[in-house]
């Protein structure tokens, strides 16, 4: 089945693990998660992230948040996160007018950037490492990202999550065409669960695997995910991206 074309002007860059940067059709640059210079597979340093217009944070575990203060300090854009992460960043000196706290089910609209963002459930945990302290990090989230363009296009960054049956509801509500799904196992879904999640996300046509291969404990692979897909009723194209790779077409 042919894939719905990516919107004109949109591009997606995979920076490794679960961190991605994308450009909207209006030219805005958005960074999802803050594991860049600390990520062993990311090909760029924190200072090479460049100008970004919006930051989205799924949760506060180090492999998504370790470079938060370094990147936040080098940018001036809004940061969308749960209230606990926003509070932590504020206490560390990030300007309050940049912190856009929200929670699951909430939608934030950024007309000037050409997108809106809905926070969704993620079945996981969250904590903040602050020196020798471990702080409560609030509820983890995923993001439904709605691009405002001639033909509306929505994609789903699932964050760190186990499979949950309401993925079917997310598909019915938001009709994402593309999903970034964790497949690494141990701390998130593995290939078998991610394949079933792809079935539940019935509107999704393409899946970009994330959260695998960064550390030895993450044993799930794209090949294992493809094999698992052959055992479920899901017709998705697996778009395997290497760290540093950018896609603007399928």
Which of 71, 67, 138 minimizes the C-alpha distance to 102? 138
Chain position carrying tokens 């679960």: 18
pLDDT at position 2: 79
Q: Six-digit token pair at 144? A: 């439904």
Q: How confident is the model at residue 215 (pLDDT cuts 50, 70, 90)?
A: very high
- Give the mean pLDDT of 181-186: 98
Confidence at residue 113, expressed as pLDDT on a 0 to 100 scale = 98
The whole-angstrom distance between residue 225's C-alpha and the CA centroid of its chain comes to 18
DSSP state of 37: T
Q: 206: domain CATH number?
A: 3.60.15.10
Judged by DSSP in three states, 74 sits in helix
Residue 46 · residue 36 · CB < 8 Å: yes
Q: What is the pLDDT of residues 102-134, one digit of tens each?
A: 999 999 999 999 999 999 999 999 999 999 999
Give the gyration radius of the chain's Cα atoms: 17
Residue 1 has a pLDDT of 64
Q: Is the pLDDT of residue 193 over 80?
A: yes
Decide if pLDDT at 201 tops 80.
yes
* Mean pLDDT, the chain, whole residue set: 97
Averaged pLDDT, 148-173: 96
Average pLDDT over residues 63-68: 98
DSSP state at residue 203: T
pLDDT for res 45: 97
- Percent share of the chain, pLDDT over 90: 98
Average pLDDT over residues 162-175: 98
Q: What's the pTM value of the predicted model, to 2 decimals?
A: 0.98
Q: How many other C-beta atoms are found inside a 10 Å radius of the C-beta of residue 3?
A: 14
In a domain? residue 2: no
Predicted local confidence at residue 72, as pLDDT: 97
Domain count, the chain: 1
Q: Which two tokens stand for residue 166?
A: 């309401």
Whether residue 28 is contained in a domain is answered as: yes
In a domain, 133, yes or no: yes
Per-residue pLDDT at 23 = 98
On the question of pLDDT at 11 being above 80, the answer is yes
pLDDT tens digits along 18-39: 999 999 999 999 999 999 999 9
- Average of pLDDT values for 61-73? 98
Residue 110 lies in a domain: yes
Model pLDDT for residues 40-57, shown as the tens digit of each residue: 999 999 999 999 999 999
Residue 220 inside a domain? The answer is: yes
Q: Is residue 16 part of a domain?
A: yes
pLDDT value at residue 150: 86
Identify whether 1 is part of a domain: no
Q: How far apart are CA 220 and CA 160, in angstroms?
A: 14
Range of the domain at 88: 11-247
Q: Would residue 4 count as lying in a domain?
A: no
């Amino acid at each position: 089945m042919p894939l719905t074309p990516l919107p004109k002007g949109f591009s997606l860059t995979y920076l490794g693990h679960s961190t991605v940067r994308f450009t909207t059709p209006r030219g805005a640059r958005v960074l999802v998660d803050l594991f860049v210079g600390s990520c062993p597979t990311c090909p760029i340093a924190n200072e090479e992230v460049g100008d970004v217009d919006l930051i989205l944070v799924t949760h506060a575990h180090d492999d998504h948040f370790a470079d938060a203060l370094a990147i936040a300090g080098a940018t001036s854009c809004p940061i969308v996160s749960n209230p606990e992460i926003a509070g932590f960043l504020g206490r560390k000196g990030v300007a309050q007018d940049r912190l856009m706290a929200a929670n699951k089910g909430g939608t934030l609209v950024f007309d000037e950037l050409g997108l809106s963002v809905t926070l969704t459930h993620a079945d996981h945990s969250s904590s903040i490492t602050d020196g020798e302290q471990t702080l409560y990090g609030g509820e983890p989230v995923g993001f439904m990202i709605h691009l405002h363009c001639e033909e509306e296009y929505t994609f789903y960054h699932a964050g760190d999550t186990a499979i949950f049956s309401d993925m079917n509801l997310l598909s019915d509500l938001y009709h994402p065409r593309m999903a970034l799904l964790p497949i690494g196992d141990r701390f998130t879904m593995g290939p078998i669960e991610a394949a079933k999640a792809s079935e539940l996300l019935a509107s999704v046509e393409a899946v970009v695997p994330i959260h695998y291969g960064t550390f030895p404990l993450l044993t799930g692979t794209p090949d294992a995910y493809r094999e698992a897909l052959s055992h479920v009723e899901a017709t998705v194209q697996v778009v395997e991206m290497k760290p540093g790779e950018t896609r603007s077409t399928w």
